[in-house]
Every structure is written in C-alpha cells, then in structure tokens.
Structure 1
Amino acid sequence: MIEILRTTDLPRAREAGALVADILAAVRDRAGVGTNLLEIDAWTRAMIVDAGAVSCYVDYEPSFGRGPFGHYICTSLNDAVLHGRPRDHTLADGDLLTLDLAVSLGGVVADSAISFVVGETRRPADLALIDATERALEAGIAATGPGARIGDLSHAIGTVLDEAGYRVSTEFGGHGVGTTMHQDPHIPNKGRPGRGYKLRPGLLLALEPWVMADTDRLVTDDDGWTLRSVTGCRTAHSEHTVAVTDDGVEILTLPTR
C-alpha cells in the first residue's frame, strides 16, 4: 500500500518527526561509556510514554523477525547495522552505536536513525562510515520532490556510497510511512534513475542509507532480529523521514533544540 496524506495531516507528521528526532538527540547526549543498552531502551520508553506516543517496535512482528521485537528502540552496535535488539551490554569507549527509532503520534509515524561513536576514541574508518551514510542521505533527500522517481533517489544514494568505496546491499532500504511504519514504495540504496514510482505531494518516505566497511552480506543473530556484517566489520546507518510537498521536500525528523 502507498498512502498519500492530506495537507491537513502534515502538522501531525511534523510533530511525530520532531518527537523522534528529539528522543534520538536526548539519548545520544545521555549515552556514554558505561551505559547499558537496556538503559537506553528504558529511557526511550519513558520519553515515548510521556509524549503520549505509541512505539512502532514493541509489538512489531514481520516475517523476517522472530516473534515481536519487544523493545522501544533499535540499538545496533559496532558490526550490527540493522534491527539491533537491546540487550544487557555496557557501552565501551570507541563503540560505534546506531540508534533507530519509529513512533506514532496523532496517528502518523516518523522513523529516523543516527550513528555515532561513544566516548573519546575516534577511529577514522568509523567516522568515514558515518560520513558516507550522512552524505548519501543528503543526496537522496536532494533528489526527492514531486515528479521524481524512486530510482532517482536510489541512484543518488548509491552513487555516494559507491564513490566512498562501500559495497551496497539492496536487501533492506528506505520505505514509505504514514499511519503505519513500513509501507510501499521500497527505496533501495542503489538503483537506476528514471525508474519506479513517481513521487506525489503528501507522500512520506523514510530514506535510510546503511553500509558495512568491507561487505554487503548480513547475518542474523540468535535473537532472530539483530543483523550484523558477515565479516564482523564496523557499520553505520543514517535515516530521515521526509514529506514530498507541492514545491519540493521537507525533512520531518530534525531536532527542535
């Protein structure tokens, strides 16, 4: 299903996006060496509940997972890149952490992800991974607008990742959002321009480039959810929810502070 929201729905989408962005920013500021991943999940739960929002993850049970996700945020650490299930694990200096969050507020969903390094140690290769996904996200957003096609977005994202020297997997990618978290159209992180669904005002999209340092192959943890690089290499993931408008595109998941 591809859902087109009405103009009157956009203020609610903005509120949902701001909440997601503010929660991610607050968790990033608070997380540090010694923080437990389960603490991050608890902080997120409290902020979602306090805002009167609804988690998109707790009862999420797609075909590729093993039972309900059961947590409020994805915490993907180091070689984990997607769907990282929070567990009893303490962050260490130099860890590369990705937080991915989706909530519904006022009946509209927003979805965003950030990657960052914990503590003081900064590996150049880790920073390059993060930078590549952020630049690819910017390129995908720049290609978004009424009349553009999904292939244009995929090509823009994939070109940045290719030029940065990373292998690009199309197994998981961006997607439509609206009253539910995962909708059509699927937005691969690599593609051919001029192909695919033509974007229309009122469409909400979650664009999410992600890469692994030396592979494009994933392996699933025993928890049935966490996806890691098959080689154990480091990973990064960046995501924004955007709205296609009459005259372009609006990023919804920017922090308000």
Structure 2
Amino acid sequence: MRIHAIVDAPDRPLPGQQDTSDASTDHLSAGDRITLDELAVHCSAAAVWLDQLARAAETPDTPVELADDIDCLRREATTLRDRAGRLQRIARIIDGDVPLATGFAAGDRWGAAAMNTDRETYGGPAIIPTANQLLLLARDASYAENTVTYPEGMAGVRKSLLLSWESKTAQERRRRERDAAVQEEELRIECESCDAGAQQRCRTKTGRLAELTHKVRRRTAEANVDARIGWVGDNPVAVAGT
C-alpha cells in the first residue's frame, strides 16, 4: 500500500525549513512534537521526491549516463516507502485501531500492567513498549486469548513518566552533547592540580602535556556544565528492547 504524501492544511501555516541543522524540526509538525502519522507521511513524501529526482536524472542538462545513481535513488525511495508503511502501521496501533496481545510469549506484560514488575531481561519492564514490540504484540493478537488496544494498555501509566521519557537515541545524543560541552569547559577553567591556565592542557609532574585533564578540573567542568544545561543524567524509565 502506498501512502500519499498529501495532508490537510493545519489551522496555522507550518513554518518553512530554516536551516540544514538536524535540530531544525519545527517545520515538520503541526504541534510541539511530531506524530507518528506525520512522520510516516514525511517519509512517503521523501520517497516521492527521490523517485522524481531519479526520473529527472534520466535526462540531465549535460549528457552523462547516471544509471547507477538513478538506481541508487530508486532503491532509497523504496526503503523510505517501506519505512513509511511501517510507521503508518505503528501510528494505527498507537491510535487504538489495531488489537494487541496483553503480554509477550514469555508471559511478561506491557504498559500499565508492567508497572511494579521486576523483569530483568530485555532492558527491564516494558512499561513503554518499543516499536518492534508493538508490531510483535499486534501479530500475536491474532491468536491471543485476550487482546487490548494501545490506549487501554497504557491507561494508568503515570503522566509524569510519559512526559519524562525519551528515546535511547535521544539519550545518546544528549550525552554526547553534554560530554562535548564538558571538554570545552575543561579548557575554559584553570587546573588546581597542575596550575594549567585557561586554554592550556594539563601537564604531568614531569611536564608532559596530556589529552586528559586532572580529576579536579574535570569535576569542576562537569558541575559547571550540568548546572548550565540542567543535566539530570540518563532517562530513569526502563524501556525494554527487542
């Protein structure tokens, strides 16, 4: 099934793309955060765009054979189209249109039913299921004795927990950004251990320059950065992986 990259105009016009930064995402959604449906349609639109580029590349302004590039564009379009279909399926699950099994094959529950459980495998209790787990639960629903929709299964999960959750990818990116900021901060401050000044590397007692900084300098840099960005560490919500 092909998703058509056409959406109704929102109540307010969406802002256009502002720059090439991956953090520039306001133009992608009508609300504060992108929905699964919006994500699916964007992927579909990207697939359409790549197919059109491939067609245009058949007759470029300058005669040159681009067969390999055209094939690559079409393969990437197919990959994006498949991804769009998967995301649309997940969106339907989230909306409650698809029945889900109440638990996994091993008997473990998910959503609100997984709260206060002590599963140690697969990353802990599946309070917030992964996309793969949702698709698995949808598949297993066809022969499960009892089924439930996603909204029903998530009812009872604390709102504060849902608001504090972030993906593993976001956690990893946020930690990389924090660590990079700490490294920059280390060189902005002096080192009490070796008397290295700002913008100077730490030295050993024999005078050799080091890439690493002394512990006291790093701890001070970490404290400065954490206070500035409001760092609270990794997401405390256990999310099971598949």
TM-score (norm 2): 0.27
Larger radius of gyration: 2
